[in-house]
Chain A
Amino acid sequence: MRRTCPLLDHPEFSILDSAGWREYRVENPRLVHPGRSHVRKLLGWFWLDATIPLLIALFWDSVSDNRAAIACIAATVLVYAYVRCTQVLWESVVVLPSLGLQFETHRGLPSIPLTVSRNFIPLSSMQDFIINEGLRGWNVRYYLAAIQRSRRDAISLDVAYENILPRFPVLLEVYHGVHETLLDESHIDSRSDT
């Protein structure tokens, strides 16, 4: 398995090549800091979590008798732990030649991936793979989308890198890669038959 970082300006983007597939991975840019030592990295995401026990220790005496307050604190701690454990670590577009595309989102603690959610788009139902622009709040962003046409002629859009939404140069790389391996190949096959 070979890993390359083709874009110098965007170190969070890397391509992993293997025998049967190719993965275009975009890591969460907030967690990618090239050149930082491991200790500093650990301290970086650990310090905020360390203040929670400190705060609880400070305020425990004043609220230990109040049941509602304890329930509130417990709820907040659980919510905070859930949010920290489901950070998006990296998202990828996996190209399976002649089979289709797979969009993956890996979540968990930094350097400990916990959950994965995958979305497979078969090549037979895929119409096209496009870069489109859309309004997002007050901003306009570029996004990659796969257009699927179901058997009943219903069109649906699946967005790649939905949570991270990388910048245009990254999207262009992935766009060209997917078109060369998946979409142009089917076009080449049909041409060689005639």
Chain B
Amino acid sequence: MTMIAMICDFFHPNVGGVENHIYMLSANLIRRGHKVIVITHSHPPDRVGIRWLLPSLKVYYVPLVTIASSATLPDFLAFLPYLRTIVLREGIQLIHAHASLSALAHEGILHAHLMGVRTVFTDHSLFGFDDAASILTNKLLEAALRNVDATICVSHTGRENTVLRARLLPHSAYVIPNALVADQFKPGPITGPTATVTIVVISRLAYRKGIDLLVATAPRICALFPNVRFVIGGDGPKLIDLLQMREKHMLQDRIEMLGPVRHSDVRDVLVRGTIFMNTSLTESFGIAILEAACAGLYVVSTRVGGVPEILPEDMISFANPDEDDVVRAMSEAIQIVSAGKHDPLRAHQRVKGFYDWSEIAERTEKVYEAVLHSRPPDFWTRMNRTLDLGRFVGPIFAIILVVGCLFFMFLEWWLPESEIDKVQRHWDQDRFVKLVEESERRSAQEHHTTLTST
């Protein structure tokens, strides 16, 4: 039974793939008997401090300033005091950090050794190598992962990408995919063969998700197949392009725009259609595709990133990320669906068996066990590995390491361990179950006495 801290900038109340992954993984680890907390940054005005989520997941919202899209500034020392207090009071044994764009996660990994805590990192996205932002983030990632104990990636393509970006030893990177809760995505009731074929698109309307490709191909598909309708849900900077395309080609009756869709409503939107279209330019796993396949839709997607790994060939049609090939793949899909060769219920049953959160938690637990049983590197090895990073980056991060140690010494004087309120009582699931049974018994008794007295 380990005490685990999940550290990431991206957590609820924001909604997204990484947030959902952290929450479901924590819930399943708690079910397996571990104790999990989550550390993330605060959301002004009043989401600061300590909150609890079901099922007994404690979340620390630390007051650090965010710069862009919920990511904090990578200053390597501002988080250390909070991290030290939280680790010492909860008795954390392992830090599991998520997301390469999260500065909190990097800091958690860099400073964990000061308190004797082991580290695991999960990378959720693919990045390029040639643009300025990628070069910078890759270098920061390499520095953070130089001394991490284990890395987990969500697909084999993701693993190759992370190993190349961060120059890891390939055998230290594991592949554990995402999963979904299949019961939340049941197919709709079976209707007879209808004339119209509805294509559903739900995604964040950003450049990475290939909205330009959608804008280029949607009018062509509408022209080629008069019985096809589009349902597009989601919001983002590219919404305006879609609306302009709709105006230009007079497709207001063929393309329906739903605006932002809440995660609880996604299934209802999905079952309105028979085909799901995904035109992402880069996708490390593609959980949206999986959710659509689970809801019984046939999937058309671009062959990028980790998408070829997630579904069998007969449930998905691939296209290269250019217009003509997407139109070709879509025609193929429309033919298959119109001929009735795709069975939604059978698809749902198959996807249900592929991915399961409890299995993911079991595999993650094995990674934790391997990490906890290995010996931590000593400070000299750590310093040497940091200096090996490069001619300029090496000394910079060695300085950050040493300043981190000095800051830690200062904190040991400023806030000694005796002054920290240690957590003595954690959520006790057995006691909760007993209290529920007791209160049910008591209310049943009262009900019985009122019945007999009247």
Contact = CB atoms under 8 A, between A and B. Distances in A.
A59 interface: no
A138 B446 contact: no
Interface string B79-109: 0011001100100000000000000000000
Interface residues of B, number: 21
Contact of B50 (A135, A138, A168): A135
Contacts of A138: 81-82, 85, 411, 414-415
B3 interface: no
Given A139-B419, A141-B421, A133 B85 contact: no
A140 B415 CA distance: 11
B234 interface: no
A135 B49 contact: yes
A179 interface: no
Q: How large is the interface on A (under 10, 10 to 19, 20 to 34, 35 or more residues)?
A: 10 to 19
Contact of A134 (B50, B411, B420, B450): B50
A194 B60 CA distance: 43
B450 A140 contact: no
B194 interface: no
A162 to B, nearest CB: 16
B441 to A, nearest CB: 14
Contacts of A194: 446, 449-450
B63 interface: yes
A3 interface: no
B84 to A, nearest CB: 8
B50 A140 contact: yes
A167 interface: yes
A166 to B, nearest CB: 10
A23 B402 CA distance: 51
Contacts of A142: 421
Given A140-B85, A194-B446, A135 B424 contact: no
Interface in B365-410: none
Contacts of B49: 133-135
Nearest to A141: B421
Max chain B Cβ within 10 angstroms of own Cβ: one of A139, A142, A167, A194 = A139
B319 to A, nearest CB: 50
Interface of A: 132-135, 138-142, 167-168, 191, 194
Interface of B: 48-50, 60, 62-63, 81-82, 85-86, 89, 411, 414-415, 419-421, 424, 446, 449-450
